[in-house]
Chain A
Amino acid sequence: MSNNSNVKFRFNNSELWGGLIGLGLGLFVIRSGLKLKLGTINDPGSGYVLFYTGILMCLFAASIIIASLSEGGPTFGSRWENARWTKPLIVIASLTAFAFSLDTFGFLLSSIPLMVLLLRLIDPVRWSLAIPIAVIAPLGMWWILKRLLLIQLPSGIFEIG
């Protein structure tokens, strides 16, 4: 990472945002702990550990924020410098689409397109190899699980699988 990518009082300082997210989570945990009741020191309640863990989270997050403001930190852009950032984005989008379709369309109808996408979009595998792998791998796993291990995978509204 180049030195000129280190910024202090800038909004794209990634360290600052990491700390702020941590602080937000810490405050949420404190609030959850309080809502669950702290109890007393000789009879701690359900929220006791959550509350104090939340305080610790806020302290650590605050120290990250202070360090990011005083020492600076890398920008978001520099974190992805020389990286093919579109590739993980494609995988995340494919997995999200898969998650939404899994219950509705079932394992086989969702995983075959997922495999085609991953095989073709990360570092493209030629079609003549991608299609057989995308079909055989999920089908083979489905067969092993259903026939040999008697595990039912989601079959979706079309009840395929």
Chain B
Amino acid sequence: MDTIINVAHGFGIALLPVNLVYCFIGVFIGTLVGVLPGIGPISAMSLLLPVTLSGTPESGIIMMAGIYYGSMYGGSTTSILVNIPGEAASVVTCIDGHQMAKQGRAGPALGISAFGSFIAGTFALIALMLVAPSLASVAIAFGPADYFSLMALGLVVLTFLTQGSMAKALLMACIGIVLGLIGLDSITAQPRLTFGRIELIDGIGLVPVVMGLFGVAEVLLNTEQIIKRDIINAKITQLFPSKEDWKASTGPVARGTVLGFFLGILPGGGAVISSFASYALEKRLSKTPERFGNGAIEGVAGPEAANNAAAGGAFIPLMTLGIPPNVVMALLLGAFVIHGLQPGPLLITQNPGLFWGIVASMYIGNVMLLVLNLPMIGMWVQLLKLPYNILFPLIVLFTIIGVYCSSNNVFDVYVMIAFGVIGYFMRKLGYEPAPLVLAFVLGPMLENNLRKSLILSQGDLMTFVTRPISATCLALAVVLLVGPLLPSLRKKRELVALDEGV
């Protein structure tokens, strides 16, 4: 009964005209960045982080969340029509989605992708409403040692899932922690690694780091190649899947939803891994696996449902524990902090309007996305024809303005450019930026909880293994760290390795 009252309260907030406008802007921009290859939700969210300052916390976070799940919808359009993933979670959709489009079945592919996403998004929201309050009440009992171990596990999982050498990913995570510790020590107020620069006393901002590593570096990488686009020019008809299509897709959508939701909750997991896992699962369960890669609708329905369910599931660790499970959620945490709010076990009880308002807005956003992605498909197809030689300079301009507006400080623009160049060389040398960004956000919390737990336990390291949650997290982290040394586990890791830890 309480849940129903809370949901009604949430809809009361989400349906306020201002919040509806922010929600629409969020899902629209999300679809836009999903459709456009080269810009992901991370770049868009960091660009718009300063804009959230102008409204209420609800409005800002509703918009940011909209960008995230909106990009999951939009990404599939590019994958199906152009064979270039609009964002990382849509890589798998290219395989069968583009084949379907080539066979003249772009309509059903886009349709099942949108409906599958809608069903999965709705399920994830219902699960979020049911799971989050219960988990938050349990999370109150978490001590600093549990938080430390959980964050350490999150970082290890992300490094495990990152493409390429695990040593490189771990090195990136360590550098992220160090960068996060720049500025005044929260316990002793001693300046650390500030090199006498007053601008560094408050530490380096999240926005310039992310915009540099993901926005500017992405543009630099894209300028290296001439991007060729093989856009399907045939008129897109029959967006509503046929009876046979639905019959083939029901199972994959259901399985993808459940799988995606649980993988989304896991620290370090997220939309990308869940879409790959769903594809692998459907191929394994199929009686005709040879159809996969040649336009099987199950290969579109499952992964698309999975990445949307994961996007919903990822809100659980952030809202209930205050721990972002991936880079996108780390940015959302940044939006909370900008408004003086701390997500965690007390958020739901202290700010019920905010929590339930966000949840309700996500449902409204899902409906908006269905309208945006099906009847307006022609508009997105036109947008895919926008030349990159005009788009990239505009992205650079927007990133500069976005970073400047986040702090009104030219120093942050320098930081962004520096991280853009560093990010470019990092990618060229095979160092992924995702572990660095997540560690950058988690670093100060990780240090704080480690020091708190050592002070509380009077230096007894056993505190990390005597508490069941902490011990379980550390044991899992050790397994994942040692795992790649075993050839069988190394092979599995290579199979699920991601481009971006989102």
Which chain A residues have a beta carbon within 8 Å of chain B's beta carbons?
A: 14-15, 18, 22, 25-26, 29, 32, 36, 40-50, 53-54, 56-57, 60-61, 63-64, 67, 79-80, 83-85, 87-88, 90-92, 95-96, 98-99, 102-103, 107, 111, 114-115, 118-119, 122-125, 129, 133-134, 137-138, 141, 145, 149, 151-154
Whether B459 pairs with A46 at a CB distance below 8 angstroms is: no
Whether A115 pairs with B429 at a CB distance below 8 angstroms is: no
Interface string of B416-427 (1 = CB under 8 A from A): 010011001000
A33 to B389, CA, bound (A): 46
Provide the residues of chain A in CB contact with B190, threshold 8 Å.
Answer: 36, 46
Provide the residues of chain B in CB contact with A22, threshold 8 Å.
Answer: 171
Q: Can you report 12 A-B residue pairs in the complex whose CB atoms are below 8 A from each other?
A: A25-B178, A32-B193, A42-B455, A42-B457, A53-B178, A60-B174, A63-B167, A79-B428, A122-B392, A123-B388, A124-B389, A151-B405
Provide the residues of chain A in CB contact with B400, threshold 8 Å.
Answer: 98, 111
Distance from B458 Cβ to chain A, minimum over Cβ atoms (Å): 5
Which chain B residues have a beta carbon within 8 Å of chain A's beta carbons?
A: 54, 165, 167-168, 170-171, 174-175, 177-178, 181, 185, 187-188, 190, 192-193, 216, 219-221, 223-226, 387-390, 392-394, 396-398, 400-401, 404-405, 408, 410, 413-414, 417, 420-421, 424, 428-431, 446-447, 450-451, 454-455, 457-459, 461
Whether A133 pairs with B459 at a CB distance below 8 angstroms is: no
Whether A91 pairs with B396 at a CB distance below 8 angstroms is: yes
Distance from B97 Cβ to chain A, minimum over Cβ atoms (Å): 27
- The listed residue (B171, B175, B414, B428) touching A64 by CB distance below 8 A is B171
Provide the residues of chain B in CB contact with A115, threshold 8 Å.
Answer: 393, 397
- The listed residue (A43, A56, A107, A141) touching B170 by CB distance below 8 A is A56
A9 to B223, CA, bound (A): 32
Whether A42 pairs with B394 at a CB distance below 8 angstroms is: no
Whether B401 pairs with A80 at a CB distance below 8 angstroms is: no
- The listed residue (A64, A80, A124, A152) touching B165 by CB distance below 8 A is A64
A67 to B224, CA, bound (A): 28
- The listed residue (A42, A50, A95) touching B420 by CB distance below 8 A is A95
Distance from A52 Cβ to chain B, minimum over Cβ atoms (Å): 9
Whether B392 pairs with A41 at a CB distance below 8 angstroms is: no
A134 to B389, CA, bound (A): 12
Provide the residues of chain B in CB contact with A46, threshold 8 Å.
Answer: 185, 187-188, 190, 192
A40 to B458, CA, bound (A): 10
- Supposing A14-B429, A53-B174, A60-B170 touch, asked if A88 and B408 sit within 8 A by C-beta, the answer is no
Provide the residues of chain B in CB contact with A114, threshold 8 Å.
Answer: 396-397
Provide the residues of chain B in CB contact with A122, threshold 8 Å.
Answer: 223, 389, 392-393
A79 to B174, CA, bound (A): 25
Whether A118 pairs with B392 at a CB distance below 8 angstroms is: yes
A111 to B178, CA, bound (A): 33
Whether A57 pairs with B174 at a CB distance below 8 angstroms is: yes
Whether A44 pairs with B192 at a CB distance below 8 angstroms is: no
- Supposing A53-B178, A85-B224 touch, asked if A67 and B410 sit within 8 A by C-beta, the answer is no
A99 to B403, CA, bound (A): 13
Whether B429 pairs with A18 at a CB distance below 8 angstroms is: yes
Whether B451 pairs with A44 at a CB distance below 8 angstroms is: yes
- Nearest B-chain residue to A149, judged by Cβ: B54
Provide the residues of chain A in CB contact with B451, threshold 8 Å.
Answer: 44, 48-49
Whether B404 pairs with A153 at a CB distance below 8 angstroms is: yes
Whether A18 pairs with B168 at a CB distance below 8 angstroms is: yes
A32 to B458, CA, bound (A): 25
- Supposing A53-B174, A79-B428 touch, asked if A84 and B165 sit within 8 A by C-beta, the answer is no
- Nearest A-chain residue to B193, judged by Cβ: A32
User: Can you list the 6 inter-chain pairs with the closest CB atoms, starting with the nearest?
Assistant: A42-B459, A118-B393, A123-B389, A41-B459, A87-B223, A83-B224
A151 to B50, CA, bound (A): 11
- The listed residue (A36, A54, A87, A138) touching B397 by CB distance below 8 A is A138
- Supposing A42-B458, A85-B224 touch, asked if A64 and B168 sit within 8 A by C-beta, the answer is yes
- Supposing A36-B190, A57-B171, A119-B389 touch, asked if A91 and B220 sit within 8 A by C-beta, the answer is yes
Whether A88 pairs with B220 at a CB distance below 8 angstroms is: yes
Provide the residues of chain A in CB contact with B174, threshold 8 Å.
Answer: 26, 53, 56-57, 60
Whether B168 pairs with A141 at a CB distance below 8 angstroms is: no
Provide the residues of chain A in CB contact with B389, threshold 8 Å.
Answer: 119, 122-125
Most buried by A among B175, B216, B408: B175
Whether B175 pairs with A123 at a CB distance below 8 angstroms is: no
Whether A145 pairs with B401 at a CB distance below 8 angstroms is: yes
Distance from A110 Cβ to chain B, minimum over Cβ atoms (Å): 9
Provide the residues of chain B in CB contact with A102, threshold 8 Å.
Answer: 410, 413
Beyond A25-B175, A118-B396, A123-B226, list 9 extra A-B contacts (CB 8 Å).
A14-B429, A41-B454, A47-B192, A57-B175, A102-B413, A119-B390, A122-B393, A123-B387, A129-B390
Provide the residues of chain B in CB contact with A36, threshold 8 Å.
Answer: 190, 192
Distance from A14 Cβ to chain B, minimum over Cβ atoms (Å): 6
- The listed residue (B170, B220, B405) touching A145 by CB distance below 8 A is B405
